Structure 1
Amino acid sequence: MIGPWGAARRREQEAEFTAFVEAAAPRLRRTAYLMCRDWHLAQDLTQTTFVSMYEVWGRIRHTANLEAYSRRVLMNAVFDQRKRRSAGEVVLADLPEAALERPADTAETHVVLLRALATLPVRDQAIVVLRHWEDLSVETVAGILDVSVSVVKTQNGRALGRLRAALGEDFART
């Protein structure tokens, strides 16, 4: 039996968790989408993140950097999902075989960038998304992915080089 103090404390924790979810959900869902390019899967990964966090909420709610913690849990969910997925499964029907031309409007640019991002290995995608979309520092990305700062710098440089090669030199200039 939970006493009146226990019930009040539980309601307080649930209210804090609900507020955290409402504030963090759009950011996490967007990051998940950039990693998997599927809004439904992004929603599932976001919910998996929240379930994992809810299980330890009482322990982490005041001691952890919740934003960084949620990103790390999300990235672990993305990596786990990629490991489970069949090797023959392809997210995009047509991968670009040659350099892509720069599209005229923003929607087309978005699609072209997502397709190019999809050609990168999952760890490189995570680094590019966290560094350049989420605008996190190298040190923060290293902490989230549990790798060294030099790994983030090296893989980021290589990933950007692969993106430039996939998009073509004229893409960034025009």
Structure 2
Amino acid sequence: MASQAEIEYRDFVTSNLDRLCRFAYLICHDWQRAEDAVQKSLTKLYLHWNRIRSSSPHAYVRRIIVNTLYEERRRFWFKREHSRDELPDVVQPDHAESSASKLAMLESLARLPKRQRLVVVLRFWEDLSVEQTAEIMNCSTGTVKSQTARGLQTLRGLLGKPIPTQVEGAQP
């Protein structure tokens, strides 16, 4: 029989898995790497679940995902592959304009330097405060503010239009 901690862990994973995968994807812009990073992170989270389950598991797992993705990039054997088993879904005509703007935003986001991309994702997709973002990034609040300003300025230049303070469609 499963313990209360195991039940809480399963409930946490079940209710947050999609959101965590989207979060990781927005950082690395590769679904396979994102899913791998989330899987590794959830394994690490499970090992420490009893200690952190009553505090802030969301912040803890986000931090693990960020660290996992950055550690992976530092390894010398890492190479980026883009293999697909299936064709992408066909965009329906009535959603084409909305989908095109979201794709443009995702492509522009992928072109940001990694720290700017991370701060934009944490602040606007995950809707975290400056302080929470600084904690996850292990930096000062001033760094978060400057990276946010630079990231938004770069996005404006890439998209050629103003960036809203809340990105449309960011929340599930």
Q: Provide TM-score, normalisation by structure 1.
A: 0.77
Q: How many residues align?
A: 151
How many percent identity over aligned positions?
38
- Measured after TM superposition, the shift of residue 118 of structure 1 is 1.3
Structure with greater helix percent: 1
State the distance in 1 between where 2:161 and 2:43 align.
43
- Measured after TM superposition, the shift of residue 88 of structure 1 is 7.6
The equivalent position to 2:64 in structure 1, one of 64, 70, 73, is: 73
- Measured after TM superposition, the shift of residue 137 of structure 1 is 0.8
The equivalent position to 1:134 in structure 2, one of 107, 126, 135, is: 126
Structure 2 residue matching 1:135: 3-state secondary structure? coil
Match of 2:26 in 1: 34
Note closer, same or farther for the CA distance 1:123–1:16 as it changes in structure 2 (3 Å cut): same
Match of 1:19 in 2: 11
RMSD after superposition: 2.4
CA contact (8 A) 1:127 1:155 kept: yes
- What whole-Å deviation, never above 9, does each CA across 1:119-159 have from its counterpart, x for those lacking one? 11111111000111111111110111111100000011011
Note closer, same or farther for the CA distance 1:119–1:15 as it changes in structure 2 (3 Å cut): same
Note closer, same or farther for the CA distance 1:119–1:107 as it changes in structure 2 (3 Å cut): same
Is 2:71 aligned against 1:83?
no
- What whole-Å deviation, never above 9, does each CA across 1:44-69 have from its counterpart, x for those lacking one? 1111110011111122222x311111
Match of 1:120 in 2: 112
CA contact (8 A) 2:134 2:140 kept: yes
Structure 2 residue matching 1:105: 3-state secondary structure? helix
Report which of the two structures shows the higher radius of gyration computed on alpha carbons. 1
State the distance in 1 between where 2:81 and 2:105 align.
17
Note closer, same or farther for the CA distance 1:55–1:125 as it changes in structure 2 (3 Å cut): same
CA contact (8 A) 1:138 1:149 kept: yes
- Measured after TM superposition, the shift of residue 169 of structure 1 is 3.6
CA contact (8 A) 1:79 1:122 kept: no
- What whole-Å deviation, never above 9, does each CA across 1:16-51 have from its counterpart, x for those lacking one? 111111122121111011112222221111111100
Structure 1 unmatched runs, 5+: 1-7, 92-103
Is 2:147 aligned against 1:164?
no
Structure 2 unmatched runs, 5+: 83-95, 165-172
- Measured after TM superposition, the shift of residue 113 of structure 1 is 1.1
Corresponding letter in the other structure for 1:70: V
The equivalent position to 2:146 in structure 1, one of 145, 154, 160, is: 154
State the distance in 1 between where 2:76 and 2:104 align.
24
Match of 2:53 in 1: 61
Runs of 4+ in structure 1 off by over 6 angstroms are 85-88
CA contact (8 A) 2:156 2:162 kept: no
State the distance in 2 between where 1:49 and 1:82 align.
15
